[in-house]
Amino acid sequence: MPKPGTEPDKGSLAKAPQRVDGTQVTLTAQPANLRATEGITLPVWTFNGSIPGPEIRVKVGETVKVTLKNELQQPVSIHWHGYPVPNEMDGIPGVTQDAVVPGASFVYEFKATVPGTYWYHSHQDSVNQVDKGLYGAIVVEDVRKSYDRDYTLVLDEWMSMVNGNINNQPHSAENSAGNETAHSSMTHGETNDKSESAEHDMSMYDLYTINGKSGASIPQLQVKHGEKIRIRLINAGYLSHRIHLHGHEFKVVATDGQAINSPAVVKDQVIAIAPGERYDIEFVADNPGNWLLEAHGINKAVIGMRAVIHYTNDNSPISASNTAADLPLLDLVQYGATANNVFSLETTFDQHVQMDLDTKVVNGSTVYTINGNTFPNTDKIRVKKGDKVQVTFVNKSKSDDHPMHLHGHFFQILSKNGTVVQGSPLIKDTLNVKPGERYVIAFEADNPGDWMFHCHDLHHAAAGMITDVHYPEHKKTYVPDPKVGNKAE
């Protein structure tokens, strides 16, 4: 076992993720090298030497117990994205715990109460540490599962080139001297276009991956004729990705881990998956061949984000790619069947909160604001347990998406651009608000603590787009250690 902070041997390559029992697991943060595809190897940070980290599996009712050990030179933490853990388990340095320093460990423990697809990632300097690979999937299985095969695909994007050379620098915004590169100030959009500020050009993200592999290096997804297949799509990157399944009808059965009521059959439409979001799709393998599940877009990098669905013993040619085709986008607010909603626009709320999201240039630097302010000067949302809170998002940025993520709670989408949700109740923890869009959501304050509410383009969060949901009556004993260097974003 290497000493904390040592660099990997030249032959230390990141592995494919393994499924592990989350009732008793150790995750070790350690460096490695990721061979994403032939000819491209990147220095990365990993959990247990794999990209993504191990896929944690538990069943509803079990207790998750994860020991984090740190063998990196920097402090790290683990946040359980989308899961309503007790506040002290949320993994936010300086808020709920001290980051785990090199050579130290920390035990996370919580009850698995809500089935679905979630993920975990470092929340210490997360804009950089997530970008370097410190993430993985956590799946809470429903004992009533009704599928034959179950695949988890984690989407991400990387830089393969720096100044025209193969990337031999750390993937994050810090190099070995601790200096920031231009990468740290980048913003992200669905098409890699330039943002409001000329410095925010994301075109260097030229390598797209699925489970740490790109293009032909991505393992095929094996199926047999007649099987029901579930695919769990998780976006761990900072760009939205439009995903198309060839050759099959499918259903979107869950978003952010929460079930869709009576999902309709979909074919030849794309699903837009924003940073932090998850979508579970299901299909019946009823069309033998070799079919692509691929990203759509006009930039060259999309060709790396494609997996082959391979029917056993079928040697047919792989279906033709059509990544540039402008296929219809599935609109979730019109999808599925109506059912009993927890909230509606007519609900009597205890609070109404407006969050105007914007991009500004201040003293030559781009910042991201909520109601004109950047964190820590944003207004906290102060709640009492049991409060019903309505939040209105308005994206005033000209070209920046803002995937807004609430820790510790689920919320329901009530309306989009003034139109009430027509389909299934939409319960989520991350919502992508595109330029000019207006969403109304609602949540119940049912999990006391101090919770972050921020944009999950983590560059935007690091540059100001954060607020807090704060329960004043919550008593906590944690006192931050100023020597640790806690850095929540």
Residue 459 CB burial class (10 angstroms; 0-12, 13-18, ≥19): buried
The model's pLDDT over 371-399, given as tens digits with 9 standing for 90+, comes to: 999 999 999 999 999 999 999 999 999 99
User: What's the longest Cα–Cα distance across the chain?
Assistant: 63
Residue among 241, 238, 277 at smallest CA distance from 158: 238
- Residue 41 token pair: 């190897």
User: Is residue 461 helix, strand or coil?
Assistant: helix
Q: What is the pTM of this model?
A: 0.92
Tokens 């494609």 correspond to 306
Mean pLDDT of the chain: 90
Q: Determine which helix (DSSP H) or strand (DSSP E) holds 440, and give its type and residue range.
A: strand 438-444
- Residue 233 token pair: 């799509």
Residue among 80, 52, 127, 181 at smallest CA distance from 455: 127
| DSSP state, residue 266 | B
The Cα 241–Cα 28 span in angstroms is 29
Helices H / strands E in the chain, number of each: 2, 34
The model's pLDDT over 86-131, given as tens digits with 9 standing for 90+, comes to: 999 999 999 999 999 999 999 999 999 999 999 999 999 999 999 9
Q: Is the dihedral of CA 34, 173, 137, 234 positive or negative?
A: negative
Residue 146 pLDDT class (50, 70, 90 cuts): confident
- Average confidence (pLDDT) over 65-77: 98
Burial per residue of 135-162, b for 16 or more beta-carbon CB atoms within 10 angstroms, e otherwise? bbbbbbeeeeeeeeebbbbbbbbbbbee
Residue 18 CB burial class (10 angstroms; 0-12, 13-18, ≥19): exposed
The model's pLDDT over 405-444, given as tens digits with 9 standing for 90+, comes to: 999 999 999 999 999 999 999 999 999 999 999 999 999 9
The Cα 394–Cα 203 span in angstroms is 27
Distances (CA, A) of 258 to 82, 157, 304, 409, 480: 10, 26, 29, 12, 34
Residue 164 CB burial class (10 angstroms; 0-12, 13-18, ≥19): exposed
Q: Give the pLDDT score at 49.
A: 98
The model's pLDDT over 178-221, given as tens digits with 9 standing for 90+, comes to: 222 223 333 333 433 333 443 455 677 899 999 999 999 999 99
Residue 9 pLDDT class (50, 70, 90 cuts): low
Residue 475 pLDDT class (50, 70, 90 cuts): very high
